[in-house]
């Protein structure tokens, strides 16, 4: 099946530093990847949609200068939280759709998530 990996799984950083989270589709090409944020005991909040080779589309209320998204290849998207603050602490999850000809283009597959703690 389609596998999405995320790295790191857990990161603790000091306030003011930047953190990069990688999302990779391991066995399929992902033209589109999605970044979500999940607060405790809550549903997923879509932050942005990233398309390979073009700028990400951010949801309303999400600061694009704070959450930098790069989708440099068909298998890799990165989310960089710049100048992180304690309120950025959260669980970040990426997702990808396999839009190749032989793939299941209907289903989103999710990474295991990254727990970010900003001290």
Partner 1 sequence: AQSVAQPEDQVNVAEGNPLTVKCTYSVSGNPYLFWYVQYPNRGLQFLLKYITGDNLVKGSYGFEAEFNKSQTSFHLKKPSALVSDSALYFCAVRPLGGFKTIFGAGTRLFVKA
Under the binding rule (CB under 8 A), the answer on residue 31 touching partner 1 is no
Under the binding rule (CB under 8 A), the answer on residue 106 touching partner 1 is yes
Among 74, 109, 116, 118, indicate the residue that binds partner 1 (CB under 8 A).
109
Under the binding rule (CB under 8 A), the answer on residue 43 touching partner 1 is yes
- If we measure between CA atoms, which residue out of 49, 47, 27 comes closest to residue 98? 27
Q: How many CA atoms lie within 13 A of 73 on its CB side?
A: 8
Under the binding rule (CB under 8 A), the answer on residue 115 touching partner 1 is yes
Under the binding rule (CB under 8 A), the answer on residue 35 touching partner 1 is no
Q: Which of residues 55-94 bind partner 1 (CB under 8 A)?
A: 91, 93
Long-range contacts formed by 80-83: CB under 8 A, 24+ apart? 80/18, 80/19, 80/20, 80/21, 81/18, 81/19, 81/21, 81/116, 82/18, 83/16, 83/17, 83/18
Window of 13-21, 66-74, 82-90, 102-110 that interacts with partner 1 by CB under 8 A: 102-110
Under the binding rule (CB under 8 A), the answer on residue 99 touching partner 1 is no
């Amino acid at each position: 099946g389609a596998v999405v990996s995320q790295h790191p799984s857990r990161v603790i950083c000091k306030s003011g530093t930047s953190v990069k989270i990688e999302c990779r589709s391991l066995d399929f090409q992902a033209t589109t990847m999605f970044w979500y944020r999940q607060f405790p005991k809550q549903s997923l909040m879509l932050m942005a949609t990233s398309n390979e080779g073009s700028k990400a589309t951010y949801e309303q209320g999400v600061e694009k200068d704070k959450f930098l998204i790069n989708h440099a290849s068909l298998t890799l998207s990165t989310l960089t939280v710049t100048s992180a603050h304690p309120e950025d602490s959260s669980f970040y999850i990426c997702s990808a759709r396999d839009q190749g000809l032989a793939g299941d283009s209907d289903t989103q597959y999710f990474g295991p998530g990254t727990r970010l703690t900003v001290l």
